[in-house]
Amino acid sequence: MTDATLTHTPPADSLFRRNLRDFRRNRLAMASVIVMLIFVIMTVAAPLIAPHDPNQTDLFRRLQPPAWIDGGDWRFVLGCDGLGRDILSRIIYGARISIFIGVVVIVLATGVGILAGLAAGYFRGWVDVVIGRVVDILLGFPYLIFAIGLMAMMGPGLVNIVLALAYKEWVIPCRVVRGETLAVRELEYVEAARALGAGSGHIMWREILPNIMSPVIVVSTIRMANVIILEASLSFLGLGVQPPTASWGSMVSDGRAFILEAWWVSTFPGLAIVLLVLAINVASQGLRDAFDPRFSE
Amino acid sequence: MSLSRLLERLLQLIPVLLGVSAIAFLMMALTPGDPVQIMIGDQSITPEQEAELRRGLGLDRPLLERFFIFLGNALQFDFGTSFYHRRPVSDVIAERLPATIELSLVALIVALVTAIPLGVLAAIRKNSILDRLATVGSLLGVSLPGFWFGILLIMLFAVHLQILPVSGRIGYSSEVSTITGFLLFDTLLHGDLPAFGDALRHILLPAITLGLPMTAILMRVTRTSMLEVLRQDYVTFADAKGLPRRRVLFRHALKNALIPTVSVAAIETGSLLGGNMIVEAVFGWPGLGRLVVESIFLRNYPLVQAAVLLYAVTYVLLNFIADILYTVLNPRVKL
C-alpha cells in the first residue's frame, strides 16, 4: 500500500460526522430538537420560570379563563384549574415528571436491553433461548395492561412507575441489539479480534457495541415518545404520580369534570404532551433517516 | 404452510402462555395486603372463621401449589369470587366483555375504512398536498394521547355541536333486552332501528378515539407497500399493455399491496386491548377495561388477575394469528 492511499483514508469518525451533518440539514428535525430543548430547560429551570407556585390554591381564581378571554388575567396566562392553581406553572412543573420518567425509563431499559441482547446474540445457545423466552413472555402482554397490573401490585409513586414501565421496555432494545449482534459477530473484524486473542467481554464491548449503536439510539428515541404517553396514561387513570404533584396526565383527568364550563383545564396540559411527543417523533424520524437509512421509507 | 410447521408453532405457544399465566399469578400473589382482610372488610369474624376462609381460598398452601391450582382453575374459566360483586369473576367479566369486543371491532372497521383509501390515495398521488397531509396526519395520529383526543372529541361533538352523546352505550329510552350483549346486533335483532341508530351514535366517538393510532399506522403501511408494488415490473407491464389505470391499480396493485396492511392490522388489533382501558375510562363505556381500573381501586384482585390473564392470552393468540395470516397471504415468507 502506498503512502498516497494512506493519506486518503478517511478518519474513523467520518461516517458519524456525515450522518450528523445530514441530520442538521433536516430543518424539521432541527426545529423539533429546539422544541425538545425548550422542554428540557423548562424541566431544569422550573422554579425560576414558573410564574406561580404550582400547588398554590386560590378558590377566588377557580376556573379562571386564559388571559385572552373575558375574565382572564395576564398574570395567569393559561387560566386556572378547579382549585384555582395556575395552569401554566403546573404544566412547567409537570414537564419534570414526563421528561424524568421518559429519560430514566429509556436509559434503564436500554442499559438492560444492551446487556441482555449482546449476551443472547454473542453467546447464542442456552443463553439466547432463556433470554428469548423471557422476551416472548413479556411481549405477550399488551404494554398498558402489564404496567397497570404492576402498578396495582406496587401502588402508585414515581419509582414504581419507572419500574412498571422499565420491566417491559428493555425487551425492545434487547431485540434490536440481539439481531444486530448476530449479524456483526460473523464479520471479519470481529473474527480478527478473536484471532488476536481478545476475550468475549472485549469483543462485545469494544468491537461489537460501538458498531451497532446507531439503530439502538434511533429505537430508544422513538420509544421515549411512547413511554411519555404511557406515563401520562397511567397518571390519567389515577395510577401514576399522586396529587398534588403536577403531572400532565392527571391534569387532563382533573379537567374532565369541567369540560362543560372550562375547556382550558384539560386542553393545555394535553397540548403540552402532544407538542413534546410530536417533537420527539419528528426528531427520531430525522435521526433514523440520517443514521439508519435502512429503515427509512 | 405445512401442518407440521403449524403444529410446531402451536407448541411454541405453550411456554409463552405458561409464562404469561405465571406473571399474572405472581403480580397478584405478591401484592401487599391480605386478600382475606380485604374480603372481610368491616365485618367482625372469629379467628377460626378467618382461618377457614383462608383455607377455603387456598392461601395456606405453598406458592407453587397455589400457582398450579390457579392454572387448573383458569383452564376451566374459574377465577374465584369477585370480592366486590360477591359473584364468580368469570360471570362479571362475561357481562362486560361484549361491550369491549363490540367497541374494538367497530374501532377496527373505522381504522380499516379510513386508512386503506387514504394510504392508497397518498401513494398514487405521491408528494401531492394530499400525500403530505396524510403524512402529517399519521404522525399526529401516533403522537396524540388517546385520553386527550377523546376529551377533545367530546368537547367538539357532544358539548359544542351537541350532535353526539357524551358517554354510555345507549340512551335510557332506547334500551333493549339483551340477546347477544352486542348492542348493535341486539337492536337489529329486535328490529328497533331508532335504537340501533342511538347505539351507533354512542359508539362512534369511542371507536374513532380507539382506532386513531391504528389508522395512522395502517395508513403509513398501505402507502409504503402501495408505492413498493407500483414500482414492480408486472405493474409497469400491465400499464404498458394499455390496461385502464383504474384496473391496474385496483385489480393488480392493490391486491398485493394490502398483504402487509392485513398482517399489521392483525397485530395492531392486539394493541386495541390496551387502548380500551383508556377509552372506556374517558367515555364511561361499561366494558372490561373500565371494570379493571375500577377493580384496582377497590382492591378487587381476583378480577384484576383474571382480566390481565385474559388480555395477555388474547394478545398472544392474536399475534399468533397475525403470523399465520402473514405466511398464508405471502407464500414467499416461511415461518
Quote the ipTM score: 0.87
Query: How far is Cα B23 from Cα B19, in angstroms, rounded to an integer?
Result: 6
**pLDDT tens digits for B220-229?**
999 988 988 8
Cell numbers representing residue B44 in the block: 367482625
Task: Please name the member of B31, B277, B307 whose beta carbon is closest to the beta carbon of A153.
Answer: B31
- Mean pLDDT for B63-92 is 87
pLDDT computed for residue B327 by the predictor: 77
Query: How far is Cα B118 from Cα B175, in angstroms, rounded to an integer?
Result: 36
Contacts of B311 in chain A (CB under 8 A): 141-142, 145
With a pLDDT cut of 70, the percent of chain A lying above it is 93
pLDDT computed for residue B126 by the predictor: 86
Q: In this predicted model, which residue has the larger pLDDT, A81 or B6?
A: A81
Query: How far is Cα A124 from Cα A178, in angstroms, rounded to an integer?
Result: 9
**B143 with A150: Cβ contact below 8 A:** no
Helix spans in B76-182 (H): 89-124, 129-143, 146-153
Any chain A CB within 8 A of the CB of B140? yes
Contact A232, A249 (CB under 8 A): yes
Helix (H, G, I), strand (E, B) or coil at A206: helix
Q: In chain B, which ranges are E strands?
A: 81-82, 87-88
Query: How far is Cα A73 from Cα A79, in angstroms, rounded to an integer?
Result: 8
Any chain A CB within 8 A of the CB of B20? yes
Contact A144, A233 (CB under 8 A): yes
With a pLDDT cut of 90, the percent of chain B lying above it is 30
Shortest alpha-carbon distance between residue A121 and chain B (Å): 20
CA atoms within 13 A of residue B142's CA, in its CB half-sphere: 24
What is the DSSP code string of A142-156? Answer: -HHHHHHHHHHHH-S
Q: Is the pLDDT of residue A29 over 80?
A: yes
Does residue A238 come out as left (phi exceeding 0), alpha (psi in the -120 to 50 range) or beta?
Answer: left
pLDDT confidence band for A9 (50 / 70 / 90): low
First to last CA, chain B: 8
A-contacting residues of B 61-100, CB under 8 Å? none
Any chain A CB within 8 A of the CB of B163? no
Burial (0-12, 13-18, 19+ Cβ within 10 Å), A291: buried
Q: Which of A53-67, A147-161, B235-249 has the lowest mean pLDDT?
A: B235-249
Cell numbers representing residue B232 in the block: 414492480
Q: Do strands B81-82 and B87-88 pair parallel, antiparallel, or not at all (unpaired)? A: antiparallel
Q: In this predicted model, which residue has the larger pLDDT, A111 or B77?
A: A111
Contact B6, B325 (CB under 8 A): no
Query: How far is Cα A64 from Cα B289, in angstroms, rounded to an integer?
Result: 34
Contacts of A249 in chain B (CB under 8 A): 145, 147
pLDDT confidence band for A8 (50 / 70 / 90): low
Shortest alpha-carbon distance between residue A24 and chain B (Å): 21
* Rg of chain B over all Cα atoms, to the nearest angstrom: 24
Other C-beta atoms within 10 Å of A156: how many? 16
**A145 with B20: Cβ contact below 8 A:** no
pLDDT computed for residue B270 by the predictor: 79
Q: Which of B198-202, B203-207, B234-238 has the lowest mean pLDDT?
A: B234-238
pLDDT computed for residue A6 by the predictor: 46
Contacts of B307 in chain A (CB under 8 A): 145
CA atoms within 13 A of residue A283's CA, in its CB half-sphere: 20
With CA atoms as reference, the chain B residue closest to A136 would be B16
| Residue showing cell 440520517 | A290
Return the residue in A168, A233, A242 with the most chain B beta carbons within 10 A, the one to mutate for interface testing: A233
| Residue showing cell 357524551 | B166
**pLDDT tens digits for B50-60?**
888 778 777 77
**B304 with A260: Cβ contact below 8 A:** no
What crossing angle do the helices spanning A171-184 and A125-139 adopt, rounded to 10°?
Answer: 150
The DSSP H or E segment spanning A166 is: helix A158-169
Task: Please name the member of A134, A146, A273 whose beta carbon is closest to the beta carbon of B145.
Answer: A273
Any chain A CB within 8 A of the CB of B23? yes
pLDDT computed for residue A4 by the predictor: 45
pLDDT confidence band for A99 (50 / 70 / 90): very high
- pTM greater than the 0.80 cutoff: yes
**pLDDT tens digits for A169-189?**
999 999 999 999 988 888 888
Contacts of B159 in chain A (CB under 8 A): 259-260
Shortest alpha-carbon distance between residue A236 and chain B (Å): 8
Backbone angles phi, psi at A238, to 5 degrees: 90, 10
Q: What is the mean pLDDT of chain A?
A: 88
- Mean pLDDT for A63-86 is 91
Query: How far is Cα B234 from Cα A26, in angstroms, rounded to an integer?
Result: 35
A-contacting residues of B 202-231, CB under 8 Å? 224, 227
Query: How far is Cα B320 from Cα B316, in angstroms, rounded to an integer?
Result: 6
Shortest alpha-carbon distance between residue B155 and chain A (Å): 7
Burial (0-12, 13-18, 19+ Cβ within 10 Å), A273: buried
How many contiguous H segments (helices) and E segments (strands) does chain B have?
Answer: 14, 2
Query: How far is Cα B75 from Cα B12, in angstroms, rounded to an integer?
Result: 18
Contact A269, A259 (CB under 8 A): no
- Mean pLDDT for A113-133 is 93
CA distance to A15, A25, A32, A40, A219, per residue, from A20 (Å): 9, 9, 15, 21, 17
Q: Is the pLDDT of residue A5 over 60?
A: no
Query: How far is Cα A30 from Cα A153, in angstroms, rounded to an integer?
Result: 41
Backbone angles phi, psi at B87, to 5 degrees: -140, 165
Q: In this predicted model, which residue has the larger pLDDT, A294 or B53?
A: B53
Q: What is the mean pLDDT of chain B?
A: 86
pLDDT computed for residue B34 by the predictor: 72
pLDDT confidence band for B113 (50 / 70 / 90): very high
**B311 with A266: Cβ contact below 8 A:** no
Query: How far is Cα A77 from Cα A26, in angstroms, rounded to an integer?
Result: 33
With CA atoms as reference, the chain B residue closest to A256 would be B151
What is the DSSP code string of B193-229? Answer: HHHHHHHHHHHHHHHHHHHHHHHHHHHHHHHHHHHHH
- Mean pLDDT for B117-135 is 90
Any chain A CB within 8 A of the CB of B146? yes
Any chain A CB within 8 A of the CB of B325? no
Superfamily for the A26-295 domain = MetI-like (1.10.3720.10)
Shortest alpha-carbon distance between residue B177 and chain A (Å): 31
Q: Is the pLDDT of residue A1 over 50?
A: no
The answer for residues whose C-beta is within 8 angstroms of residue B78's C-beta and 6 or more apart is: B88, B90
CA distance to A97, A274, B22, B139, B325, per residue, from A36 (Å): 15, 12, 40, 17, 40
3-state helix, strand, coil in chain A (%, to 5): 75, 0, 25
Largest CA distance in chain A: 83
Any chain A CB within 8 A of the CB of B32? yes
Contacts of B316 in chain A (CB under 8 A): 140
**pLDDT tens digits for A211-256?**
888 889 888 988 999 999 999 999 999 888 888 888 999 999 999 9
Angle at A217 between CA A276 and CA A201, to 5 degrees: 150
